Chain A
Amino acid sequence: MNSGDTAWVLASAALVMLMTPGLAFFYGGMVSSKSVLNMLMMNFITLGVVGVLWMIYGYSESFGSDAGGGLVGNLHSAFLNNAIGTLAGAKGDQIPTLAFVMFQLMFAVITPALISGAIADRTKFWSWVLFVAVWVTVVYFPVAHWVFDFSGFTSPDSVGGWIANKLKAFDFAGGTAVHINAGSAGLALALVLGKRKRWPRNVPRPHNVPFVLLGAALLWFGWYGFNAGSALAAGDLASVAFTTTTIATASALLAWIVVEQIRDGKPTTLGAASGAIAGLVAITPACGYVGPIGALVIGIAAGAVCALAVGLKFKLGFDDSLDVVGVHLVGGVIGTLLIGLFATTTANSAGGDGLFYGGGLNQLWRQAVAAFAVMIYSFVLAYIIGWIINKTIGFRVTEEAELTGVDEAEHAESAYEFTTATGGSHSIPPVAQDDPVALAATKGSKA
């Protein structure tokens, strides 16, 4: 066991965990003050739901040895069977299997959370919880197996997924498995639930842009665990990923606000935060395969294209409320495809060379197949799951609840209390007459 690598992977798992509450604030600031709690909860609950499912069967579905066709893992590691006291990884860089289990759990947590931005202001909470549980089971866990499960990693004789081992498309930290996957599912749910009332003419402004920037900063911070941690070793490759992540994020931030300055006349805080996220998304699959120049181009492309792509929903008429499609699907596709142009073996000797580094189109078509496969699979399954939930228990709150505010309707809470003049009082549960202790306390307080 390599203790340096183990320390880095465990720390990275904790960094990635922080991304989900970071995302909650990134999204929460963008919605109105009467639906911010619902948005925070749709994100935070994934820590609960996926945290439990991962232990029961999720990890095994993703990283158990292949059950057939590179499509899904077997259930031999259900309940984390055989994960305690065993090692994973290549000789010299072996880490405890449980460190890998926890690191990958955090990816499984944040991916469904990303989808929630597409259906802000109008979602029934328990329907969302059910969707998360079913979607991770039939979409995320298998797709993680396709993309992240390399044969021989979790044990010498384990067989992994088809994208990683047969297609050999590169996805260092989840451009396909996380971002295209979530973005595509977000589009499906935005279509299933439909537009918010009064969209697009009259929808609320972001109620707390400082929250958005705070959330973006937490995401950027946690993303170092996501990307550099995906090296699963504390060495050269992690440092390459850390560097390319920084370059792409910085350049995407700049590109987005330059587009805004030219198009709208002002650089916005929301734009700077969004640009940074677009850069992080796009560099995610590429961070361990490209060099600094590749990262710069990917960042500029992601920042500029996503800044324009977020306007598509108005032209095409779907209410992807917080631009999960415009940022995560589009950014994920950009990063995944540009690997085919900018991958270089100088960044990663185990990687490959893209079109601009003498590799021809060999890598590009593999990238396109992986991106397309995940996009279609996730969209179709998310649409079917969402449609069934909508037709049975309902996925959307009533019109009145939506206009009053989904926080009050779904959670019986309000995020902010700025006035003392509410006329409010607690309703205290009545004291049972046969409870001497409580009765004595009541009498005591009267005396």
Chain B
Amino acid sequence: MKLVTAIVKPFTLDDVKAALEQLGLLGMTVSEVRGYGRQKGHTEVYRGAEYSVDFVAKLRVEVLVEDEVADRAVDTITSAARTGRIGDGKVWVTPVDTVVRVRTGERGVDAL
């Protein structure tokens, strides 16, 4: 099993979600996060004084998938979240030892 984690621009969420549903995935977790990469932040001005906001709002999307689905999930997210401009985010895959469904106690792939 794999955990696919993606940092994406917040407004791409609907497209990412729709694309993952098309792929047949049954769940996902989303959290609001802040950070910066090559995009860096932006500048705001209050009464003439500049404030640089370095950490930009992003969404972290996490999906647990079977091993053979991971690559397709990555491609799906990548194409759904891409605008071609700087700050589109990143996607990475990590191996997962165990998954348990809390309600039933099912383990492994059955719990996905």
Contact = CB atoms under 8 A, between A and B. Distances in A.
B45 interface: yes
B47 A271 contact: yes
A191 interface: no
Interface stretch (A14-22, A35-43, A307-315): A307-315
B46 A270 contact: yes
Contacts of B47: 268, 270-271, 274, 307, 310-311, 323, 326
A205 B49 CA distance: 10
A263 B48 contact: yes
A264 interface: yes
Contacts of B51: 205
Contacts, number: 30
Nearest to A271: B47
B44 A307 contact: no
Interface in B38-59: 44-49, 51, 53
A41 to B, nearest CB: 23
Contacts of B49: 200, 311, 314
Contacts of A307: 47-48
Interface in A297-313: 307-308, 310-311
B4 to A, nearest CB: 25
B48 A264 contact: yes
A411 interface: no
Contacts of A326: 47
A206 interface: yes
B107 to A, nearest CB: 27
Interface string B53-67: 100000000000000
Size category of the binding interface on chain B: under 10
A186 to B, nearest CB: 15
B63 to A, nearest CB: 23
A266 B42 CA distance: 14
Contacts of B45: 260, 264, 266, 268
Interface residues of A, number: 18
Interface in A176-216: 200, 205-206
A2 to B, nearest CB: 44
A205 B48 contact: no
Contacts of B48: 260, 263-264, 307-308, 310-311
A260 B44 CA distance: 12
B26 to A, nearest CB: 25
Contacts of A310: 47-48
A260 B46 CA distance: 10
Contacts of A200: 49
Interface in A221-275: 260, 263-264, 266, 268, 270-271, 274
Contacts of A271: 47
Contacts of A263: 48
Nearest to A306: B47
Nearest to A265: B45
Contacts of A308: 48
A205 B52 CA distance: 10
A361 B49 CA distance: 38
Nearest to B53: A205
Contacts of A264: 45, 48
Interface string B24-39: 0000000000000000
A264 B51 CA distance: 12
Contacts of B44: 205
A69 B47 CA distance: 42
A314 B45 CA distance: 14
Tell me which of B44, B45, B48, B49 has the highest count of chain A C-beta atoms within 10 A of its own C-beta.
B48
A417 B47 CA distance: 29
B36 to A, nearest CB: 17
Interface string B7-32: 00000000000000000000000000
23 contacts: A200-B49, A205-B44, A205-B46, A205-B51, A205-B53, A260-B45, A264-B45, A264-B48, A266-B45, A268-B45, A268-B46, A268-B47, A270-B46, A270-B47, A271-B47, A307-B48, A308-B48, A310-B47, A311-B47, A311-B48, A311-B49, A314-B49, A326-B47
Q: Which 9 interchain pairs have the tightest Cβ spacing? A: A310-B47, A264-B45, A311-B48, A205-B51, A270-B46, A206-B46, A270-B47, A310-B48, A264-B48
Given A206-B46, A270-B46, A271-B47, 15 more contacts: A200-B49, A205-B44, A205-B51, A205-B53, A263-B48, A268-B46, A268-B47, A274-B47, A308-B48, A311-B47, A311-B48, A311-B49, A314-B49, A323-B47, A326-B47
